[in-house]
Amino acid sequence: MSALNQLTDDTVKGHTAKGDTANDDAVKPDTARRHAITREERPEIAEILNTEASMLPATERRSIELLQTYRNGNNGSSAPNLSLGRLEKDKLAVENLLERAERIMGDHRYVHFSLQDGRAVHLSKVGDGVLVHAVHPGVLPKEVRYTNIADRVFICPQPDNVHTLAVEEGGIERTDVILNDLEIFLYERAQRPLIVQVSPQGYHENDIHKLKLGLQDTGGQDKYINDSAHALTELGYTLLNVNRAGPNHPTNGDVREGMHYSYTGVDLLFVPDAIPESDPRHGTFIPKERMYPSEEWVGSIPPSDPIFFGMARNLATQLQREPQARDFILIGHYADGGTVAWHTARIIEETIKNDQSLSDGGYKTPKVWYNAHSLGVLKQRALEDAGEAYDPNELRFSERNRFEQFLYDRVDGVISTSDTMTHSMNEDFGRTIDYFLPPGVDTNQFHRRPKGVARSDARYDDTWKELCELANQPKEVLNAASLIMEISRTAETKGKIDVLRAFAHSLTDEDLRQDKKFLIINIANPNRPGMQPSERRLAESLQNEIKTLGIARWVITKNDFAPTTVAKLHQMADIFITGAVSEPWGMSLQQAAASQQAIISTTRVPSGTSVLMGEKPTEIDVAGSRHKVIMGDGAIFIEPTDHVAASYAINRLITNREEAASMAQRAFNRVIPSYTWNAMTADFIQDAFGQQIGGDGKVVWPKENALLGKLTKPRWS
């Protein structure tokens, strides 16, 4: 706020009590005259008004006009007709808007709304006021979110100590309309059942098309959470995805604090931890493996550490303002998210226990479900079996295993995402799963290229443009070539270096002379700020491997591809290949299958071995008995790190187009519709949660379960 807003009621009333008046010139927009009067009558604000009026924001210029009118009265001058009565009316109107805005915001300092008409609305607490800013489509890009919205003010009053309000012309009326829209939005949201998903790591989004895969700890698990959330909204739920608050998004600068509502039904809440500012980890990105606390456990209970327990305390506080009162469900993803969810439920349980009125009102401790996504024991075995080096101080398998065991022993339900995990949970942790829910496919995003549409069609022009710029090749060359793609997070377990070696081994003299084969692969930028040393070393080693193999001309690489681009690449590229040495499930294979794309996979990808391999696979020796490929029903399989066998598979699919097409068709039939998100989530909520789907395809949920009164009525206090 301007220093003008430090003026008090008594200061302003003191002038009116004296009957101060001024001539017409005092209220004209003449800076010199206005400053002269100000210096004479109010020297303590002379410095404020010395600024040229043309340099002040419109809101501060209006504040000056309001101040002068209030002090001098409306004496028929050419000043705006703003009488003392009008000022009082404005003050009351703004105080009402402020109360409504604060009720909408709750305890958050920053709230963002994405509305269906394309508007983006931001509310931010500044001092004693609230900034309200709306971005309209066609005025500014829809995806702009401001990290500094103080320059775009509709209202920012300090009603307790000032009568001069920084109000943009027409701002009261516009803000009233905006807040009314937000209140309607929240009212409609409150009438849907709520599921809360907790995942501290990664960079989450509430827009399925904006998720950036390949960023720090941002991969298949984040996509699983996004995709399942959107499928559940189609069944009538509101999904609240919880992520750890921290620095702004590294690629688009989005604010990663407070609540982000979306018309899609998927809301995103950034919850702060309790790491003190003196700790160098405060406000910085922390990889999931480093989140496990090193403090001693009390028996079998984990410590009340500043990350997990700190997030849980803040999350419990935020959930008390959710209007869906009695029966929301918590799902914790990975060991860190599961631990935060469990702590949160225990805090809520204790709160209800200490307040009999809450128990009498039907409030219950939310059920906690745990989805591990991957298991430390499986990842450790896979790395060791493949001979991959790893730093135990970074991956911290022993701490992770202890947290996983703790959760298996205490949560209400356990979800498995692969047959391998189901077996390990039983054998290594003594826990039978409660529901099998592997990743599904969003068929709105991943689908096969329509019949009769060539990959050179205009609908792919933006993707061709990007590929041509990255490859420094004309579209004619790339379109005529065979395109092989590998898109995954840059991690040791993804086997990217083996894919590079397989591609290099597959290149024939003709391929080299005529540019007949290209590999599309994403590799993290080793110069990206905040990268862990191990990540940087891997990214640098992959870039160096491309140079060593001499294949830079035929490798199209980028830090990360947008989700919409990945979906198009699945329709355009001839082959999808993965060299993964360890994979919890393997969503990318399902996406390729849903796109009817030929697939090469290692035998360590469960979605491949359990869905695409089929009942009667055939082994073929390659270059002697040392190398083998397994011809499955919907894909060709190789052992991890065997780039010779992978090279054979690449060339076999390229030279045998009919075989490749038949295999791709069988893969499609195995995945669609059985492994679509819509089908699987509908079964999940009925079988696991005992909630019914009505004839309209929506979950049956009694309206009385929503406490509607005030839109942000606390669940408890």
**425 & 277 share domain:** yes
**206 & 174 share domain:** no
**466 & 410 share domain:** no
Give the global pTM.
Answer: 0.70
Q: Is residue 703 part of a domain?
A: no
Q: Is residue 452 part of a domain?
A: no
Q: Strands 482-486 and 575-577, how do they pair? A: parallel
**402 & 527 share domain:** no
Is the CB of residue 435 less than 8 Å from the CB of residue 413? Answer: yes
Provide the domain limits for residue 265. 191-293+302-436
Q: Is residue 210 part of a domain?
A: yes
Please choose, from the candidates 637, 672, 669, the residue with its C-alpha nearest in 3D space to the C-alpha of residue 653: 637
Is the CB of residue 691 less than 8 Å from the CB of residue 705? Answer: no
- Residues 326-342 have pLDDT tens digits of 678 999 999 899 999 99
Q: Is residue 64 part of a domain?
A: yes
Backbone angles phi, psi at 75, to 5 degrees: -105, 30
**CATH code: domain of residue 234:** 3.40.50.2000
Q: How confident is the model at residue 150 (pLDDT cuts 50, 70, 90)?
A: very low
3-class DSSP state of 444: coil
From 178, 201, 218, the end of a domain falls on 178
Per-residue confidence (pLDDT) for residue 242, from 0 to 100? 96
Per-residue confidence (pLDDT) for residue 96, from 0 to 100? 84
Per-residue confidence (pLDDT) for residue 12, from 0 to 100? 29
Per-residue confidence (pLDDT) for residue 24, from 0 to 100? 35
From 126, 155, 178, the end of a domain falls on 178
Per-residue confidence (pLDDT) for residue 230, from 0 to 100? 92
From 152, 178, 204, the end of a domain falls on 178
Per-residue confidence (pLDDT) for residue 324, from 0 to 100? 63
**495 & 394 share domain:** no
Give the N- to C-terminal CA distance of the chain in Å, as an integer: 32
Q: Is residue 35 part of a domain?
A: yes
Q: What is the DSSP letter of 167?
A: B
Read off the amino acid at residue 451: K
**74 & 159 share domain:** yes
Worst-scoring range by mean pLDDT, 21-25, 137-141, 426-430?
21-25
**380 & 336 share domain:** yes
**171 & 209 share domain:** no
Backbone angles phi, psi at 35, to 5 degrees: -65, -35
How many secondary structure helices (H) and strands (E) does the chain include?
25, 19
**77 & 142 share domain:** yes
Interacting residues of 587 by C-beta distance below 8 A, sequence separation 6+: 220, 223, 224, 439, 441, 607
**217 & 168 share domain:** no
Is the CB of residue 225 less than 8 Å from the CB of residue 333? Answer: yes
Between helices 376-385 and 397-410, what is the axis angle to 10°? Answer: 140
**pLDDT, mean of residues 496-501:** 98
Q: Is residue 63 part of a domain?
A: yes
Q: Is residue 204 part of a domain?
A: yes
Is the CB of residue 612 less than 8 Å from the CB of residue 623? Answer: no
- Residues 656-712 have pLDDT tens digits of 999 999 999 999 999 998 899 988 999 999 999 999 999 999 999 877 776 555 554
Strand order in 194-198's β-sheet? 129-135, 120-126, 110-114, 258-262, 266-271, 238-244, 194-198, 329-333, 368-371, 413-416, 435-436
Sign of torsion, CA 242 244 249 255? positive
Q: How confident is the model at residue 311 (pLDDT cuts 50, 70, 90)?
A: very high
Distance CA 157, CA 183 (A): 21
**522 & 658 share domain:** yes
Q: Is residue 411 part of a domain?
A: yes
- Residues 378-422 have pLDDT tens digits of 888 878 777 777 777 778 888 888 888 999 999 999 999 888 889
Residue 157 in this model has a pLDDT that exceeds 60: no
Is the CB of residue 714 less than 8 Å from the CB of residue 321? Answer: yes
Looking at the structure of the chain, the number of domains it has is 3
Cis-peptide into 673, omega within 30 deg? yes
**249 & 270 share domain:** yes
